[in-house]
Homo-oligomer: A and B are copies of this chain.
Amino acid sequence: MTIRALVFDVFGTLVDWRSGVAREAARLLAPVAPDLDAGAFADAWRARYNPSMETVRSGARPYVDLDTLQAESLPGVLAQFGIAGVSEAVQGELVQAWHRLDAWPEVPDALRRLREKHLLAPNSNGHVRLMADLARRNGLIFDAILGAGYSRDYKPKPALYRDAVAAFGFAAGETMMVAAHSNDLAAAAGHGLATAHIARPHEHGPAGGETAPTVPVTHAARDLADLADRLGC
């Protein structure tokens, strides 16, 4: 089946969240924590990401966006690193770190190539403004922003995959989920989407990242440029 639309995981797949959050944390926390292991700080914050989303996925609370969840997680991360005295204003700036992430180097050009033949949208757990800010920062052009903001829930809940297919209106098999995470692709495949795995061996810094999918996928690509090659773009 011809692929007509590509929907993307963003954190880890299109942008390098760890380096960006570490850079901003080092800068913003320098006055109170000059010896901070900023990479470990980013990892610790990210580790709270899934449990925080689970409060929405489970139905325990109504949908709130990722900025809200990150803001709620932050005091625990600061306490974990023994950091006190961070003003609310600085905490707000730290949450904005997630809006100031850089794309992996090949992404802007590869997305331009993919856009020539396909409709493109993020299908991320990030909301509209977060996706718009990351797109603007990195010169990425999408046809729409789908994902958590559009579906008012978090991956891997079924709504995210079903809504992504329905929004563009192609068959599920004509819609490809692109992600660096096998669990995301397994969920997408369960709803009939085609899938592409992108290797991101440095997503978690020293802790690595997925170099290959652990589930069956339509394409396993070295990076987004490799996927563009495979799709004939």
Q: Can you list 26 A-B pairs, Cβ within 8 angstroms, ordered by A? A: A67-B169, A119-B129, A119-B132, A119-B136, A127-B167, A128-B144, A128-B146, A128-B167, A128-B168, A129-B167, A129-B168, A129-B169, A131-B144, A132-B143, A132-B144, A132-B168, A135-B143, A136-B143, A141-B141, A143-B145, A144-B144, A144-B145, A145-B145, A149-B150, A149-B167, A150-B150
Binding site for B on A (CB under 8 A): 67, 119, 127-129, 131-132, 135-136, 141, 143-146, 149-150, 167-169
Q: Is the interface of A mostly helix, strand, loop or mixed?
A: helix
Q: Contacts of A169 on B, CB cut-off 8 Å?
A: 67, 129
In whole angstroms, how far apart are the Cα atoms of A143 and B131 in the complex? 9
Q: Contacts of A144 on B, CB cut-off 8 Å?
A: 128, 131-132, 144-145
In whole angstroms, how far apart are the Cα atoms of A218 and B144 in the complex? 28
In whole angstroms, how far apart are the Cα atoms of A169 and B95 in the complex? 14
Closest-CB distance, A217 to chain B (whole angstroms): 25
In whole angstroms, how far apart are the Cα atoms of A167 and B135 in the complex? 15
Closest-CB distance, A67 to chain B (whole angstroms): 8
In whole angstroms, how far apart are the Cα atoms of A146 and B146 in the complex? 10
Q: Contacts of A143 on B, CB cut-off 8 Å?
A: 132, 135-136, 145
Q: Contacts of A132 on B, CB cut-off 8 Å?
A: 119, 143-144, 168
In whole angstroms, how far apart are the Cα atoms of A176 and B167 in the complex? 25
In whole angstroms, how far apart are the Cα atoms of A150 and B67 in the complex? 19
Closest-CB distance, A185 to chain B (whole angstroms): 22
In whole angstroms, how far apart are the Cα atoms of A131 and B168 in the complex? 10
The list of the 9 closest CB pairs from A to B, nearest first, reads: A128-B167, A132-B143, A144-B145, A129-B169, A128-B144, A129-B168, A132-B144, A119-B132, A141-B141
